[in-house]
Amino acid sequence: MAKVKTIYACTSCGATSPKWVGKCNHCGEWNTYIEEVISKDTATEAKDKAWRAPETASGNRPVPLPEIKAGDMARLVAPDEELNRVLGGGIVPGSLVLIGGQPGIGKSTLLLQLALHIPVKILYVSGEESEEQIKMRADRIGGQASNCYILAETNTSKLLKHAQNLKPDLLIIDSIQTLSSPHIDSMPGSVSQVRECAGELQRFAKESHIPVFIIGHITKEGSIAGPKLLEHIVDAVLQFEGDRNYTYRILRTIKNRFGSTDELGIYEMQANGLREVSNPSELLLSQNEEDLSGSAIAATIEGMRPMLIETQALVSTSVYSSPQRSATGFDLRRLNMLLAVLEKRVGLPFAQNDVFLNIAGGLRVDDPAIDLAIVSALISSLEDVGVPTDVCFAGEVGLSGEIRTVNRIEQRIQEADRLGFKEIYISKYNTKGLDRGRYEIEVKTVAKVQELYFALFK
Ligand code: TYD
Ligand code: MG
């Protein structure tokens, strides 16, 4: 007999409660509980319990560590170097990898492209598109497709049956929000359904040693039953991000049980699929030859990779009493702080001006070393004096206007040198152990924003 019950589930961490609560006791988030109707029969309840305590291959007996064979864990190396890098050197057998991102960013394209180019047997299960639609996309991307099997299915029991029979080397699920498990009677995409399906996929991956890639959508607000809830279940979480109006995409590691989370993969979306960007500094300039005012280049490090990125500022007289501030790809509060520092320490009149800031290529930069370039771009636009295009910057700006040290300065200088820049401005305190003779680029040091102002604009 199926019994129907109503529970309340937290959309952030997946905790459940018999009644609605305003604040989740587990993760502390507010207003995340939603009502779910569940009907389960008793047999499936028992099954449900079983996956929570899965029997391991070693027969539930403690095994001394040296006796466990590590050879079984040989990674499956993808033809996509960026993906290998982000996963920490290839796909681990039996691992469950979640690829999250906003709708339309290119998740399906990324994984279909992997399926078409990797020379092993793949099962690509789609609950979003029909076989014909996938075929059209595959034709667009091109590549060897003889090993790639497509299945349009949303029922987990059926799709796992097919996977067991086919025994692919990699299973791809597009997307977790469309799957539904017959053991649970709530809507696809709901908290309990997503958790149940992920649990079933995890059990399949661990028992069969077949790696499983799961696509999960997130919305700007963090979705109803979003990948947030799955982060605990899966082995690795990769986030695919970028501005949809630009062509560059970044694949970031949020969690990885088998590698570093500092890695980063960069792609460019083209008419025939995603292209790997192995030399990220090519994102750089908007190809200006002249020294236009309001633009400066930052020597940043994203993940483990040095990257030169152009920052652009526009400072113009405000027509309103409270001037506008807008930033794309940069934290607005940090921009306000930098403006306050320039106003107070250098005496520049930003308070009467509108300020717009933009990071080229639609990228979002978290590296604090970008501060110095932003400050230069701001002053350059205000004074209407261009910064020479062969000059770049790497330094953090503190509240008293001091230029602070940044990590891995040598790597930044080296990259700027390799790209033919003539000068790089860094913090005066960042020169410990630095051998300036090694580089052709001239390393200039500044201690305060005032010094930078006089060096560049006076
Ligand atoms: P898609 O992979 O469907 O996104 P997601 O699965 O994350 O929702 O990609 C959608 C966008 O990518 C779509 O707007 C069109 C674009 N695109 C290209 O520019 N070139 C291509 O070769 C493909 C397949 C898609
Ligand atoms: Mg898709």
Indicate the SS3 state at residue 362. Answer: helix
> Which residue is closest in CA terms to ligand 1's atom 23?
273
- From first to last of its 458 residues, the chain has per-residue pLDDT tens of 556 778 888 877 778 888 898 888 888 888 888 887 766 554 455 455 545 544 444 456 788 888 877 655 688 899 999 999 899 889 999 999 999 888 889 999 999 999 999 989 999 999 989 999 999 999 988 866 788 999 999 999 999 999 999 999 999 999 898 999 998 888 888 888 888 999 999 999 999 999 999 999 876 555 444 556 788 889 999 988 887 777 888 898 888 998 888 788 889 999 999 999 887 776 655 556 677 899 999 999 887 788 888 999 999 998 888 899 999 989 999 999 999 999 999 999 999 999 999 988 777 888 999 999 999 999 999 999 999 988 999 999 999 999 999 999 998 999 898 888 999 999 999 988 888 888 999 999 999 999 999 999 88
Our answer on whether the CB atom of 103 is closer than 6 Å to any ligand 1 atom is yes
Our answer on whether the CB atom of 109 is closer than 6 Å to any ligand 1 atom is yes
Provide the residue ranges of all domains of the chain, joining segments of one domain with +. Answer: 1-43, 77-276, 283-457
- Output the CA–CA distances (angstroms, integers) from residue 239 to 133, 151, 184, 309, in the order listed: 24, 25, 28, 21
pTM as predicted = 0.76
Nearest Cα residue to 371 out of 359, 383, 363, 362? 359
- What is the C-alpha to C-alpha distance for residues 241 and 103, in angstroms, rounded to an integer? 10
107 labelled binding-site residue: yes
Cα maximum dimension of the chain: 84
- What is the C-alpha to C-alpha distance for residues 200 and 179, in angstroms, rounded to an integer? 11
Number of H helices, E strands in the chain: 11, 21
What's the pLDDT score for residue 32?
A: 80
C-alpha triplet 356, 254, 280: angle, nearest 5°: 55
Indicate the SS3 state at residue 397. Answer: strand
Our answer on whether the CB atom of 100 is closer than 6 Å to any ligand 1 atom is no
- Test site for ligand 1: of 102, 105, 109, 133, most ligand atoms within 8 A of the Cβ: 109
With contact defined as beta carbons under 8 Å apart, do 422 and 405 qualify?
no
Alpha-helical (H) ranges within 209-311 are 227-230
Q: How many CB atoms lie within 10 A of CB 411?
A: 15
Contacting residues for 92 by C-beta, under 8 A, at least 6 apart: 73, 75, 76, 211, 235, 258
Our answer on whether the CB atom of 198 is closer than 6 Å to any ligand 1 atom is no
Our answer on whether the CB atom of 242 is closer than 6 Å to any ligand 1 atom is no
> Which residue is closest in CA terms to ligand 1's atom 20?
271
- What is the C-alpha to C-alpha distance for residues 91 and 298, in angstroms, rounded to an integer? 34
With contact defined as beta carbons under 8 Å apart, do 360 and 309 qualify?
yes
CA of 13 to the centre of ligand 2 (A): 24
With contact defined as beta carbons under 8 Å apart, do 357 and 328 qualify?
yes
CA of 175, closest atom in ligand 1: 6
With contact defined as beta carbons under 8 Å apart, do 374 and 298 qualify?
yes
Indicate the SS3 state at residue 128. Answer: coil
What's the pLDDT score for residue 418?
A: 85
CA of 174, closest atom in ligand 1: 6
Amino acid letter for position 264: L
Our answer on whether the CB atom of 195 is closer than 6 Å to any ligand 1 atom is no
Token readout for 89 is: 């050197």
Which class would CATH give 283-457?
Answer: alpha beta
104 labelled binding-site residue: yes
233 labelled binding-site residue: no
CA of 174 to the centre of ligand 2 (A): 7
Residue 53 CA from chain centroid, whole number? 31
Token readout for 226 is: 């979003």
- What is the C-alpha to C-alpha distance for residues 301 and 341, in angstroms, rounded to an integer? 24
CA of 268 to the centre of ligand 1 (A): 11
Nearest Cα residue to 93 out of 117, 70, 62? 70
CA of 246 to the centre of ligand 1 (A): 12
With contact defined as beta carbons under 8 Å apart, do 115 and 109 qualify?
no
CA of 341 to the centre of ligand 2 (A): 44
126 labelled binding-site residue: no
- Test site for ligand 1: of 99, 178, 219, 269, most ligand atoms within 8 A of the Cβ: 269
Residue with tokens 């014909």: 132
CA of 109, closest atom in ligand 1: 2
The pair phi, psi for residue 374, each rounded to 5°, is -65, -45
Q: Is 160 exposed, middle or buried (0-12, 13-18, 19+ CB in 10 A)?
A: buried
Our answer on whether the CB atom of 142 is closer than 6 Å to any ligand 1 atom is no
Specify the pairing of strand 264-270 against strand 442-446: unpaired
Query: The domain 77-276 belongs to what CATH superfamily?
Result: P-loop containing nucleotide triphosphate hydrolases (3.40.50.300)
Counting every residue written for the chain, the total comes to: 458
Among all ligands shown, which has an atom nearest to the Cα of 174? 2
